[in-house]
Amino acid sequence: MITFSSTKPLKPPSSFPPFLHSVPPSASFRFPPIPSIRNPPSRLRILSLDAAQTFDYETQFKSQYLKSNALKIAVVGFGNFGQFLSKTILRHGHTVLPHSRSDYSLAAADLGLTFFHDLNDLCEQHPEVVLLSTSILSTEKVLAKFPFQRLRRNTLFVDVLSVKEFPRSLMVKYLPEEFDILCTHPMFGPESGKGSWAGLPFVFDKVRVGNDPYRVSRCNKFLSIFEKEGCRMVEMSCAEHDRYAAGSQFVTHTMGRVLEKFGLQSSPINTKGYETLMNLVKNTAGDSFDLYYGLFMYNKNALEQLQKLDMAFESLKKDLFGHLHHVYRNQLFGASVEKPVLYLEQKLLTNGTIPVEAPSIEICREER
């Protein structure tokens, strides 16, 4: 609704029927089309724009709907990733209760949140969902000291760790049987997901969710946060996730850290491929080494992938030195040589270098 103010009083056009000037408020009728005003009032000024009134039921119903669908979510581990998730959770109208070992009270205040230094105080707020965003290495320590007795008996626990079988076994071990368990992994972070989550994979496994309609609805409400953000929702078992993640996430982090140690630097003639490698280093080096170590330590498939990477690199070196030896052989004996110098070739492929004890050219010719 827009209210106008003018220096000249506005009068109804003379063409209006006389009865319109004395219509009781309760009357119901259709107004005829308002004729155009030839001389509009000068210096119009807007006094109010769509002011909410006490009878604005649309706004009231919307507010009640949002409150009825809101979850009270405790974020345990309010570091970089915990804050990253909390911003989106808040945007969907849910309540966030942050806690961490380190003091993130200023970061919480920036989001309009109250930071809980004591885990007991947090649990007494009776959150419906406890979101574990701790590091992989500290998860067991957190669960072992968690004051479960201060929570509601069927609280939903959700983890967002990069490995899945490890936290699954810990939650089954430490959580009371009445508690629900949802293992998830948003396969993106503050760097890769800072623009949009649309199309990014979100893996989840409903390890233990009660059949009660409230508990089913609560779990679905939490998952809907990522659905509404456009994530590609992938439901799979924790074991299956770890098998795939070892071949994708662990390998990605390994290559990023190798290139970081290599000292990859920008140049005036960067190619698209080189820029991709630099972005890989940026995305992986920003994570703590504890995360990378956790990917290796608590995913039984990671060691196998590391060995495969090592074997692939050695195989590539042998291919390179093998072709190099072919060039040397042609330079020494000419392109018409029918048989390779087996001794020299075998040594080169085995050691990756030209052996010092290689026979002289004359000896090779005699053997030929």
DSSP string, 195-244: S--TT-EEEEEEEE--SSHHHHHHHHHHHHHHHHTT-EEEE--HHHHHHH
Q: What is the pLDDT of residue 15?
A: 53
Name the residue among 287, 301, 289, 309 with its Cα closest to residue 164: 301
Q: How many residues does the chain have?
A: 368
β-pair type (156-159, 180-186): parallel
Single-letter amino acid code for the residue at 26: S
Q: Which two tokens stand for residue 40?
A: 């509009």
Q: pLDDT tens, position by position, for the chain (368 residues)?
A: 455 555 555 555 555 555 555 555 555 555 556 555 566 556 666 555 555 565 665 555 555 555 568 999 999 999 999 999 999 999 999 999 999 999 999 999 999 999 999 999 999 999 999 999 999 999 999 999 999 999 999 999 999 999 999 999 999 999 999 999 999 999 999 988 998 999 999 999 999 999 999 999 999 999 999 999 999 999 999 999 999 999 888 889 899 999 999 998 999 999 999 999 999 998 888 788 888 898 899 999 988 988 999 999 999 988 888 888 777 777 777 655 555 455 555 555 555 555 444 444 444 444 44
- Give the pLDDT confidence score for residue 7 in this predicted structure: 52
- pLDDT given for residue 329 in this prediction: 72
pTM above 0.75, yes or no: no
pLDDT of residue 295: 87
The domain 60-235: what is its CATH number?
Answer: 3.40.50.720
Q: Distance between CA atoms of 6 and 78, rounded to whole angstroms?
A: 54
The angle, 0 to 180 degrees and rounded to 10, between the axes of the packed helices 302-333 and 342-351 is 150
Q: Residue 202: is it exposed, middle or buried by C-beta count within 10 angstroms (0-12/13-18/19+)?
A: buried
Q: Which uninterrupted H or E stretch holds 65? A: helix 57-69
The pLDDT value recorded for residue 314 is 92
